C-alpha cells in the first residue's frame, strides 16, 4: 500500500505497459516491421521518438510541483510582487478573498484547494489524477494538456499500427494464436485513444473558458462562484485571451484581484 501511495507502482505500470505495447508492434508483421525490413527507418524512428517523448512528458507532469501553496508569507508575497496586476487591477478587501485551509491551516489563495491525496493546498486546483499520481494545478496544467496531445498521437498511431498487423487464418483458434498479442495491443491503444481524446477535448474546453474541473463540477459549493449567475465566470476574458494566458503566461496570478476587478465592472 505504501508503494502504491508513493506513485512508484503506478508509474512503473505505465512504463511497462507503454514499452511492452511498443515492443509487440515492432516484433509483429505490422507497418513498422515492414518498413524496417525494407530499410526504411524514418517511420520506426519517428514512432519510437513519439513514444519516448510521451514517457518523458508523463514523468514531467507526474513529478513536477503542480503549484503547492508553500506558506502564508509565500501566498502574501506572491500577490505583492505581481506588479502588472497591481497596476491594472485595484486592490480592495473582499469577503471572497483568501481563507484559511481547514486541513493544513495555511492561508489559501482564491481558486486553490486542499488535496487530500497530496496533503497540500494547490493553486488553481483542477483535479488529482491517479494515473500520474499527482495533482493538476496552476504550474503543471498546461504541461498536462501538452502531454495529452503527445499521448494521443502515440496511442492513435499505435492503434493504426496494431490494426495493420492483424492477419487472417483458416480457423478461429489459429487466428487468435497468430494475433493474440496484437489484439492485446489493439485493446490497450484503442481504450487509451478514446480516454485521452475525451480528456483532451474536456481540458481544451475548460482552458478556453478559464475554469477548472473542480470549479466546473462543484460550482454550487464554491464561495466565490455560487454568488454569481449560473452562466457567469468572473475569470473569463474571452477564448483567445484565456488560451494565451493558459499556454503562454508562466506566472502566479493573484486571482483575488481579477475577481475584484470583474466585480467592480459588473457594478
Q: Give tens-digit pLDDT for 207-247.
A: 999 999 999 999 888 888 888 877 788 899 999 999 999 99
Residue pLDDT, tens place only, 105-116: 888 899 999 999
In DSSP terms, 108 is beta-bridged to: 99
- What's the domain range around 213? 1-65+141-267
At 122, which helix (H) or strand (E)? Answer: strand 120-122
Q: Is the dihedral of CA 36, 42, 47, 53 positive or negative?
A: positive
pLDDT at 157: 96
Mean pLDDT over 17-46 rounds to 92
Asked if residue 50 lies in contact with residue 154, where contact means CB atoms within 8 angstroms, the answer is yes
Could you list the active site residues?
A: 129
Q: Does a structural domain hold residue 222? A: yes
pLDDT at 227: 80
Domain total in the chain: 1
Residue 266 pLDDT class (50, 70, 90 cuts):
low
Q: Does a structural domain hold residue 244? A: yes
State the chain's mean pLDDT as an integer. Answer: 85
Q: Does a structural domain hold residue 20? A: yes
- Model confidence at 265: pLDDT above 90: no
Q: Which residue bears the cell 502564508?
A: 72
103 or 188, which is more confident: 188
pLDDT at 1: 43
Residue 197 pLDDT class (50, 70, 90 cuts):
very high
Q: Does a structural domain hold residue 126? A: no
Residue pLDDT, tens place only, 137-163: 999 999 999 999 999 999 999 999 999
Question: CA 47 to CA 185: how far, in whole Å?
Answer: 15
What is the 3-class SS of 83-126, one letter each residue?
HHHHHHCCCCCCCCCCEECCCCCCEECCCCEEECCCCEEECCCC
Q: Does a structural domain hold residue 77? A: no
Per mean pLDDT, which range of 33-47, 142-156, 177-191, 248-262 is the poorest? 248-262
Which residues are CB-contacts of 141 (< 8 A; sequence separation ≥ 6)? 66, 124, 126, 203, 207, 246
Question: CA 22 to CA 24: how far, in whole Å?
Answer: 5
- Model confidence at 84: pLDDT above 50: no
Q: Is the dihedral of CA 80, 84, 87, 93 positive or negative?
A: negative
Measured from the Cβ of residue 108, the count of other Cβ atoms closer than 10 Å reads 23
Q: Does a structural domain hold residue 127? A: no
Q: Does a structural domain hold residue 186? A: yes
Q: Does a structural domain hold residue 160? A: yes
Closest of 72, 129, 73 to residue 101, by C-alpha: 72
Residue 260 pLDDT class (50, 70, 90 cuts):
confident
The residue count of the chain comes to 267
Residue 262 pLDDT class (50, 70, 90 cuts):
low
pLDDT at 167: 87
Per mean pLDDT, which range of 67-71, 191-195, 242-246 is the poorest? 67-71
Measured from the Cβ of residue 122, the count of other Cβ atoms closer than 10 Å reads 28
Q: Which three cell numbers stand for residue 107?
A: 492561508
Mean pLDDT over 64-76 rounds to 76
At 245, which helix (H) or strand (E)? Answer: helix 239-248
Which residues are CB-contacts of 134 (< 8 A; sequence separation ≥ 6)? 7, 61, 62, 63, 64, 66, 118, 128, 140
Amino acid at each position: 500500500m505504501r508503494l502504491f501511495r508513493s506513485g512508484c507502482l503506478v508509474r512503473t505500470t505505465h512504463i511497462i505497459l507503454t514499452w511492452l505495447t511498443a515492443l509487440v508492434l515492432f516484433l509483429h508483421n505490422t507497418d513498422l516491421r515492414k518498413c524496417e525490413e525494407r530499410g526504411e527507418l524514418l517511420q520506426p524512428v519517428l514512432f519510437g521518438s513519439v513514444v519516448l517523448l510521451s514517457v518523458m512528458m508523463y514523468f514531467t507532469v507526474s513529478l513536477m510541483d503542480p503549484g503547492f501553496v508553500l506558506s502564508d508569507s509565500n501566498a502574501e508575497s506572491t500577490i505583492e510582487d505581481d506588479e502588472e496586476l497591481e497596476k491594472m487591477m485595484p486592490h480592495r478587501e473582499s469577503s471572497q478573498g483568501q481563507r484559511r485551509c481547514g486541513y493544513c491551516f495555511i492561508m489559501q489563495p482564491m481558486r486553490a484547494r486542499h488535496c487530500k491525496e497530496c496533503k497540500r493546498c494547490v493553486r488553481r486546483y483542477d483535479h488529482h489524477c491517479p494515473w500520474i499520481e499527482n495533482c493538476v494545478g496552476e504550474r503543471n496544467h498546461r504541461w498536462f494538456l501538452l502531454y495529452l496531445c503527445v499521448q494521443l498521437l502515440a496511442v492513435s498511431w499505435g492503434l493504426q499500427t496494431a490494426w495493420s498487423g492483424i492477419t487472417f487464418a483458416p480457423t478461429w483458434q489459429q487466428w487468435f494464436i497468430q494475433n493474440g498479442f496484437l489484439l492485446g495491443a489493439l485493446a490497450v491503444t484503442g481504450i487509451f485513444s478514446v480516454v485521452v481524446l475525451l480528456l483532451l477535448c474536456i481540458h481544451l474546453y475548460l482552458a478556453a473558458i478559464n475554469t477548472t474541473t473542480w470549479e466546473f463540477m462543484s460550482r454550487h459549493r464554491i464561495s466565490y462562484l455560487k454568488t454569481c449567475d449560473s452562466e457567469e465566470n468572473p475569470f473569463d476574458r474571452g477564448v483567445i485571451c484565456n488560451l494565451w494566458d493558459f499556454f503562454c503566461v508562466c506566472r502566479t496570478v493573484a486571482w483575488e484581484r481579477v475577481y475584484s476587478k470583474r466585480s467592480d465592472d459588473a457594478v
